[in-house]
């Protein structure tokens, strides 16, 4: 059986489940919340996965081993886990569901280990189960806080949503070979790229989120893109950001990507405001 098959089956199940929920709720805010949960897991994964090299995925979908590893993490943790968290939060599922789903994900992890498509370095399945119990309970409470406590929770939700969107675009640019970040912090240049691009992606998400929440004027929101453009130029000048295609092609690709992210974050902010008013 190809390594990718279990990952693709997992993603198909999660895609169907999330689609059913979105159709049932007939609203956009669950999708915003789903991606926000992904952003929250990015924070955790950045530490244990990128910095501490806790485990390794092998879906064998990308030629570059570390990018393939990251793609497996995206499938396993950053897409499937937030779907379960979304169901728990939206339907206020009980502790029984929280523990049951955590054990089920632990079972999936054990299966992946037995299939040889995933391996632990210092991580353990028990850590996964405990972390999921805590995260699922946190996700359930987060929706309550989002409905009741206003701006601070809405901003963090928007920031995590923005980071998940930005991280997806950043990873796509890396995989396609359009650009690469380099610092020399890690010996593996592709791990080094993910390390830097994750931090820079968070910076961009923060700039856009602050600008979107600070003003409703569309033209003023473009200030965030000017800041990001300036940061790109500085990183290029320092040799930290290396573009592998002609610059005019890079800007033709990168500019619309930034506009798309800005628009998505603005839409996300509006949907979260509507959620707050309706709850």
pLDDT at 261: 93
Same domain, 138 and 225: no
DSSP state of 26: T
Q: What range does the domain containing 97 cover?
A: 1-148
Asked if 192 and 240 count as a contact pair (C-beta separation under 8 A), the reply is no
Distance CA(152)–CA(106), nearest Å, equals 33
pTM, full prediction? 0.93
Provide the CA 240 distance to its chain's centre, in angstroms: 23
pLDDT at 109: 94
At what angle are helices 223-238 and 189-214 packed, to 10 degrees?
160
pLDDT at 219: 82
Distance CA(116)–CA(156), nearest Å, equals 37
Distance CA(7)–CA(10), nearest Å, equals 5
- Give residues with Cβ within 8 angstroms of 133, minimum separation 6: 98, 99, 102
pLDDT at 279: 65
Same domain, 16 and 58: yes
Same domain, 135 and 13: yes
Same domain, 63 and 136: yes
Same domain, 266 and 167: yes
Regions of the chain where pLDDT drops below 70: 1, 279
Q: Which of 148, 174, 202 is the last residue of a domain?
A: 148
Q: Within 13 Å of residue 6, how many CA atoms lie on the same side as its CB? A: 19
Smallest Cα–Cα separation from 80: which of 16, 20, 174, 127? 16
Query: In the structure encoding, which two tokens stand for residue 138, read together?
Result: 């946190």
CB environment 230-269: b (16+ within 10 A), e (fewer): eebeebeeeeebebeeeeeebeeebeeebeebbebbbebb
Same domain, 201 and 279: yes
* Total residues belonging to the chain: 279
Same domain, 114 and 230: no
Number of domains in the chain: 2
**203-241, pLDDT tens digit by residue?**
999 999 999 998 888 888 899 999 999 999 999 999 999
- 250 backbone dihedrals φ, ψ, rounded to 5°: -60, -45
Same domain, 8 and 138: yes
pLDDT at 158: 95
- 241 backbone dihedrals φ, ψ, rounded to 5°: -105, 120
Same domain, 27 and 156: no
Same domain, 121 and 157: no
Same domain, 5 and 111: yes
Query: In the structure encoding, which two tokens stand for residue 108, read together?
Result: 């999936």
pLDDT at 147: 84
pLDDT at 1: 56
Helix, strand, or coil (residue 57): strand
Smallest Cα–Cα separation from 216: which of 266, 166, 145? 266
Q: Which of 122, 148, 174 is the last residue of a domain?
A: 148
**82-100, pLDDT tens digit by residue?**
999 999 999 999 999 999 9
Helix, strand, or coil (residue 215): coil
The DSSP string of 82-112 is HHHHHHHHHTT--HHHHHHHHHHHHHHHHHH
Same domain, 204 and 77: no
Q: Which of 148, 170, 205 is the last residue of a domain?
A: 148
């Amino acid at each position: 059986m190809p390594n990718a098959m279990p990952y693709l089956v997992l993603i198909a199940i999660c895609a169907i489940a999330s689609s059913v929920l979105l159709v049932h709720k007939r609203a956009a805010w669950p999708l915003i919340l789903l991606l926000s949960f992904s952003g929250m897991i990015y924070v955790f994964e950045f530490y244990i996965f990128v910095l501490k090299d806790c485990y390794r995925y092998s879906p064998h979908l990308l030629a570059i081993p570390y990018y393939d590893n990251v793609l497996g993490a995206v499938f396993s943790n950053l897409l499937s886990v937030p779907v379960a968290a979304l169901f728990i939060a939206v339907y206020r599922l009980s502790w029984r569901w929280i523990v049951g789903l955590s054990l089920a994900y632990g079972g999936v992890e054990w299966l992946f280990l037995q299939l040889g498509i995933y391996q632990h370095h210092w991580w353990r399945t028990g850590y996964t189960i405990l972390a999921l119990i805590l995260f699922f309970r946190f996700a359930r409470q987060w929706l309550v806080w989002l409905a009741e406590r206003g701006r601070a929770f809405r901003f963090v939700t928007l920031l995590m949503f923005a980071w998940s969107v930005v991280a997806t675009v950043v990873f796509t640019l890396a995989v396609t070979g359009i650009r690469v970040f380099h610092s020399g912090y890690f010996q593996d240049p592709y791990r080094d790229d993910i390390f830097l691009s994750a931090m820079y992606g968070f910076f961009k998400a923060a700039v856009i989120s602050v600008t979107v929440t600070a003003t409703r004027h569309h033209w003023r929101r473009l200030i965030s893109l000017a800041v990001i453009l300036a940061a790109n130029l500085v990183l290029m000048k320092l040799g930290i950001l290396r573009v592998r295609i002609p610059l005019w092609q890079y800007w033709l690709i990168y500019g619309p990507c930034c506009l798309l992210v800005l628009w998505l974050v603005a839409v996300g902010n509006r949907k979260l405001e509507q959620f707050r008013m309706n709850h």
